[in-house]
Structure 1
Amino acid sequence: MKVAITGSTGLLGSALARSLTDDGHRVVRLVRRPARTGDEARWDPDNGTVDTGPLAGADAVVHLAGAPLGPARWTTARRRAIRQSRVAGTRTLAAALAGMDAPPGRLLSGSAVGYYGDTGDQAVDESGDKGQGFLSDVCRDWERATAEAEEAGIATAHLRTGVALSGSGGLLGTVLPLFRLGLGGRLGDGRQYMSWISLRDHVGAMRFLLERPDLTGPFDLCAPEPVINAAYTRAVAAAVGRPAPLPVPAFAMRAALGGFADEAALVSQRVLPARLEEAGFAFAHPTLGPALMEAVSEGSGSDGSGSEGSGR
């Protein structure tokens, strides 16, 4: 199989590329600089261009690129970058694929559980309605941006990703040093739900969907047992063998991070992977404890700067 990947240097993209190449598949990485090898293709989502030459003969494209959500204050400029990188970038890619003489038959395009907004204690799945707020609006438009590819007959699935757990990147990789020092703590009152997925299961789900072009539309890429933040905090502390006594007050998070606190860190999202399970996908880590133990054992070989480690 020949698979092209955007966001291939991020947490999810690099793990998928490694998994595919280890199994003998060919990976073409879409990069923003001039291509250096035949396994790279230059694209410029800001200017709406994609060199589709290296994509000829590709069976599938996995689109994971997007500006980091944070943790950082969501200024007007950052909100614009978050939206532009996802919506305009996806529209550029979809149009380029649709314009190929023989386009790939499969497209997996990033999205996030942020689509559902704040669900409180209510469990939702892919049949749930769109929520309210900035991230929910971005996710809606992000998914709609694949329309041109779908109209060209490319079987498209949207990856509504939760928080991907890895000790070497993403949200967990960022906070692990604090937990190892005994400085971890719950966020706010800790009652907000978090929809998570192990890195192994996220890669496995993408591989599963690549092999099933009959599965289109949204798929929640999160484990079947979301947990509240207080339980997550206790589980991380247990995985590193340290206490986590220092809760971070909600008012302090809002003061420091503004909209990121209210729409990402403190939002409650109890999301279930109904369509993946119905399709027969088997999770390696359906529960949090073993997933965290594997993630913590990965070490810290990355700086955690990948753009798509968290789907919130």
Structure 2
Amino acid sequence: MNDTLLWTLISIQVFMGAFDTLVHHEGTERLAWRPSQKTELRLHGVRNLLYAVIFLSFGWFEPHGLFTIALSVFLAFEVLITLWDFVEEDMTRRLPGSERINHTLLALNYGAILALAAPYLWAWSALPTALVPANYGWWTVMATFSAIGVVLFGMRDLTAAGRCDRLMKDNPLALVAPLPPRQRVLVTGGTGFIGRRLVQALVMGGHYVTVLTRDPRNADAVPHPVRIISSLNQIHNSDRFDAIVNLAGEPVANGLWTTRKRARIINSRVDLTSALEAVIERLDHHPECLINGSAIGWYGLRQDEELTEASQPTHAFVHQVCESWEDVANKIAAYGVRVVTLRIGLVLGVEDGMLARLLTPFEFCGGGILGNGQQWMSWIECDDMIRVIAITMARQDIKGPVNATAPEPVRNIDFTRALAQALNRPAFLQFPGWLLRGLGGEMARETMLGGQRVMPELLRRKGFDFVYPELAPALRAITGAHGNPDEDGYDSAIWLGRADKDLR
């Protein structure tokens, strides 16, 4: 099959398939960590294994007779799997436009491949049954590496499909159990990571939820029934809210802190909170409480000092962001509204956030220590975060700043070790501080290499019980890890680079 055009189309198919896998399946869509995509992952896994057989058959052999018929069956089965996959994708998720375009091009190119390959298959089928060795030079090399790649990702997708049931979360109703019945709640940022789970819990609890989102097309990200608004102007003076939860804001750690980015980070929080103040001022009935987002960055960059709500800050951009946000929120107390500012740590979940961005690198053995690994990471599991929001809404004796972090912060080196063990992967890399600062600038210095050792002092005084006070059990539950952790397995099973202080 020394047909240059046919091999060129096969190469294009490989390139587009790799783009779809890396950019969409592993990148934007993160299918391996979405329990709803269990069937799609299985289809991808089976199809990838079929592709491996097809690539090796075309690259190394001329299959004659019955082998040709078997290969033709594989090709036809691949078409059926792809059609099934298209239907499954449309039923279970909203595909990005680029993925739809890529799928269309893949289908058209595959049709051209089948049309060009048909005469060869027809001729080979009439020959005596045999696998005749063949070598097409560079094309054979390309087919071999393609087969290896699709086998790796096929096995990964099948493994991820088997993990999906362990990633399913419990009914969130219990998360908002402290709330009185039938609360009316306005949630900004309700289509974000924390907001989606909060809205889901409130809806399951029978509460009346209004979600503010800049893009109404994101409404399918939250459960119904909810009221979706795209502007605070859609709130009437006669509307009643028992509570407002304000979580909206430009992401902080998703790019370089240019002057424009810094302004967006601050203004997105300050402007919306000021707009909420204007709404509250004109409402006939003021809400009982405002639960306003903030972050542990309020404390600035600290070393080993234990930080409580009474601790004082040091200067840093993350402090400037949080201080500006809290100052505006605190003004709303003048209207008789109880204001709580949640100084939120790293919220852990597979759906989004810092941990979600680490899962794929760690799964492919690309995880490692940041800097010298001694910086503190104050974290909280996602459902514990929802429970914190619920109790601060329900308890009228809670106001002011509240540290929303688990009681056991860890150093980066311990976080890396725990995540590697939960995923059963080695984490032998170490990323020097100078490299991170060179790539990420001030953002990397403050969010990756800086840290805070924050303690939830107020929550402990109020008797709040964390379901996940310790990191290792939390990560195992979040990632759907099998079995119990091997307490002595860190050094024997997980390889970690040495944390040299001079790398900081």
TM-score, structure 2 length as denominator? 0.56
- How far the C-alpha of 1:264 sits from its partner, in A, is 1.0
Aligned counterpart for 1:129 among listed residues 287, 293, 312: 312
Residues 52, 97 of structure 1: 8 Å contact kept = no
- Letter matched to residue 214 of structure 2: R
In the alignment, what sits opposite 1:9? 191
For the residues of structure 2 that align with 1:289 and 1:50, how far apart are their CA atoms?
45
Identify if the C-alpha distance between structure 1 residues 188 and 38 changes in structure 2 by more than 3 Å, giving closer, same or farther.
closer
Shift, 1:54, TM fit: 8.8
Size of the alignment, in residue pairs?
Answer: 293
Give SS of 2:467's match.
Answer: coil
- Counterpart of 2:228 (choices 40, 51, 54) is 40
Structure with greater strand share of residues:
1
Instruction: After TM superposition, list the pairs within 5 Å mapping 1:48-59 onto structure 2.
Output: 50-53=233-236, 56-59=239-242
Q: Is the 8 A contact 1:119 1:270 kept in 2?
A: yes
User: 1:151, 1:42 → 2: CA distance?
Assistant: 26
Provide the residue aligned with 2:261 in structure 1.
78
Q: State how far apart, in whole Å, the 1-side matches of 2:375 and 2:226 are.
A: 46
Task: Point out the structure with max Rg over C-alpha.
Answer: 2
Aligned Cα root-mean-square deviation (Å): 1.8
Q: Give the equivalent residue in structure 1 for 2:341.
A: 158
Give the unaligned 5+ runs of structure 1. 44-48, 299-312
Change over 3 Å in CA distance of 1:268–1:100 after alignment to 2: same
Task: Name the counterpart of 1:292.
Answer: 475
- For the 8 Å contact 1:41–1:54, the answer to whether it is kept is no
Quote the Cα distance in structure 1 between the aligned partners of 2:227 and 2:213. 10
Taking the aligned partners of 2:306 and 2:329, their CA distance within structure 1 comes to 27
Match of 1:65 in 2: 248
1:115–1:140 Cα contact (<8 Å) kept? yes
Contact 1:40–1:54 at 8 Å: present in 2 too?
no
What is the match of residue 97 of structure 2?
none
Partners in 2 of 1:236 and 1:33 — Cα distance? 34
Q: Which residue of 1 aligns with 2:323?
A: 140
Q: Distance in 1 between matches of 2:262 and 2:431?
A: 24
Q: Is the 8 A contact 1:155 1:214 kept in 2?
A: no
Check if 1:27 corresponds to 2:215.
no
1:28 and 1:55 in contact (8 A); partners too: no
Query: CA distance change for structure 1 residues 40 and 53 in 2, over 3 Å: closer, same or farther?
Result: farther
Contact 1:39–1:54 (Cα < 8 Å) also in 2: no
Structure 1 residue identity aligned to 2:361: L
Counterpart in the other structure of 2:179: none
Do 1:3 and 1:60's aligned partners in 2 also have CA atoms closer than 8 Å?
yes
Q: Indicate the SS of the match to 1:145.
A: helix
Q: Which residue of 1 is the match for residue 428 of structure 2?
A: 245
Specify which structure has the higher proportion of helix: 2
CA contact (8 A) 1:107 1:157 kept: yes
State the shift of 1:42 in Å: 2.8
User: SS at 2:374's partner residue?
Assistant: coil
Contact 2:238 2:284 in 1 (8 A): no
Q: Can you give the 5+ residue segments of structure 2 that lack an aligned partner in the other structure?
A: 1-182, 220-224, 482-504
Distance 2:343 2:408 in 1: 16
SS in 2 for 1:197: strand
For 2:228, give the aligned amino acid. E
* Amino acid across the alignment from 1:275: L
Identity of counterpart residues, as a percentage? Answer: 36
Report if the CA contact (8 A) 2:294-2:326 is conserved.
yes
AA partner of residue 183 (structure 1): G
Moved more, 74-83 or 144-153: 144-153
- On the 8 A contact 1:162/1:196 being kept in 2, the answer is yes
Q: Which moved more, 1:189-198 or 1:51-60?
A: 51-60
**Deviation per CA, 1:79-99, whole angstroms, max 9, x where unpaired?**
111111112221221221122
1:89 corresponds to 2:272: yes
Query: Per the alignment, in what secondary structure is the counterpart of residue 247 of structure 1?
Result: strand
SS at structure 2 position matched to 1:102: coil
Q: TM-score, normalised by structure 1?
A: 0.90
